[in-house]
Amino acid sequence: MRHLLDTRTLSRDDALRILDVAEDMRDTQSREVKKLPTLRGKTVVNLFFEDSTRTRISFEAAAKRLSADVINFSAKGSSVSKGESLQDTAQTLQAMGADAVVIRHGASGAPHTLATSGWISAGVLNAGDGTHEHPTQALLDAFTIRKRFFGDDSRGRDLAGFHVAIVGDILHSRVARSNVWLLTTLGARVTLVAPPTLVPQDVSAWPVTISYDLDQAIASAPDAVMMLRIQLERMNAAYFPTEREYSRRWGLDAARMGSLPTASIVMHPGPMNRGLEISADAADSPRSTVLEQVANGVSVRMAALYLLLAGERPTTHPQEEAR
Ligand code: ASP
């Protein structure tokens, strides 16, 4: 793998390879010494043009646990705010010897431009671009579902036969888009549940079922319900009457959770608007995988960095190298 730009074009084999390497990485993370020497001497740049807490920290932890050097570059307070272009920034990073660039950008397609422009030779990882994609989030979500349902027997498995409901602000969500592609590539069935105003116009071309009724979707007994954040910062119009009305019709609360099959899990990519799309008891219930998603994110990003920077699966198992 040269870059990780989206899940739309990610093959089933590549997706499973990332998930399986992430299993190996996860195994190393329960040890006292979590650090592996694998990417010693490599430089990973976190290039963040949009705010992020968990994704940036997660990539930083992942790179450091593989012994790479990490440079955090946030656009605020940098020359970018003085008008420097993506090209100039990229070429500066290239001159500093970046081996991988993790980029988050408000414009859909920015990571693709960076990867194909010829400005840099580094591998590019998309950490969220506009409303387009957030591939490592979808990978960590798939990893989390696999882990919850198959436990130690997860390796090599896809998600055939699973039904996932993705609920809420689909329109502004790169997480939803990346999940739609990855989940269907892995064999799962996806239902999108949202008010009509928050369903994208081009959705008819997506391999999904649309529902406007959360209670009906819950009655269809999905294995996982993925709640999305209402992205108020991307909303330039009134998409629903009031927040109260939204949470009454589209929010996951204790009553709705009670109607789900006992084995079903509740997911959220974070950050959560508690009391809006998800109630505190749903977010904190034992079925909620919110914190597992965060922990698994580090293992999945270690796997992605590893596959981009160290090539194919090693002859030495990462666990052996840890010694
Ligand atoms: N953290 C995710 C993202 O960057 C989800 C969200 O912001 O709601 O897309």
Rounded CA-CA distance 189/159 in Å is 9
C-alpha 131 to ligand 1 mean position (Å): 10
Domain boundaries, the chain: 12-133+294-321, 135-290
Burial class (CB in 10 A: 0-12, 13-18, 19+), 7: buried
Mean per-residue pLDDT pooled into runs of 10, the chain (323 residues)? 96 98 95 94 95 93 98 78 81 92 95 94 97 98 98 98 98 97 98 97 94 98 97 84 94 96 97 96 97 98 97 51 47
pTM score > 0.75 for this model? Answer: yes
Q: What pLDDT is recorded for position 74? A: 83
Domain at 135-290, CATH homologous superfamily: Aspartate/ornithine carbamoyltransferase (3.40.50.1370)
Question: Does this chain's domain 12-133+294-321 share its CATH topology with 135-290?
Answer: yes
- Closest listed residue to residue 21, CA positions, set 268, 269, 291, 296: 296
Tokens 């590549």, residue?
A: 14
**pLDDT at residue 53, rounded to an integer:** 86
Cα(286)–Cα(268) distance, integer angstroms: 14
**Cβ of 140 less than 6 Å from ligand 1:** no
How far is the C-alpha of 202 from the C-alpha of 211, rounded, in Å? 15
- Distances in Å between the alpha carbon of 67 and those of 35, 47, 49? 7, 19, 25
Indicate which atom in ligand 1 lies nearest the CA of residue 169.
Answer: 8
Distance 228 CA to ligand 1 centre (A): 8
Q: What is the DSSP string of 234-297?
A: G--S--SS-HHHHHHHH-B-HHHHHTS-TT-EEE--S---BTTTB-HHHHTSTTB-HHHHHHHH
Question: What tens digit of pLDDT does each residue of 192-214 get?
Answer: 999 999 999 989 999 999 999 99
- The whole-number pLDDT of residue 322 equals 47
Distances (CA, A) of 150 to 10, 24, 159, 239, 244: 23, 15, 10, 38, 37
Residue 313 is predicted with a pLDDT of: 46
168 within ligand 1 shell (Cβ under 6 A): no
- Cis omega before residue 271 (within 30°)? yes
76 CA distance to ligand 1 centroid (A)? Answer: 18
C-beta separation of 219 from 259 below 8 A: yes
Q: What is the pLDDT of residue 323?
A: 45
CA pair distance 57, 102, nearest whole angstrom: 12
Q: How many residues are given for the chain?
A: 323
Residue 165's φ and ψ, nearest 5 degrees, are -100, 125
Q: What is the pLDDT of residue 312?
A: 53
Distance 320 CA to ligand 1 centre (A): 35
Strand partners for 163: 189
- The reply to whether ligand 1 has any atom less than 6 angstroms from the CB of 134 is yes
Which homologous superfamily is 12-133+294-321 in? Aspartate/ornithine carbamoyltransferase (3.40.50.1370)
What is the DSSP annotation of 147-186? HHHHGGG-TT---TT-EEEEES--TT-HHHHHHHHHHHHT
Q: Which pLDDT tens digit goes with each residue over 215-234? A: 999 999 999 999 999 998 88
Q: Which atom of ligand 1 is nearest to the CA of 173?
A: 9
Sign of the Cα pseudo-torsion (298, 132, 126, 188, in order): positive
- What pLDDT, on a 0 to 100 scale, did the predictor assign at position 314? 45
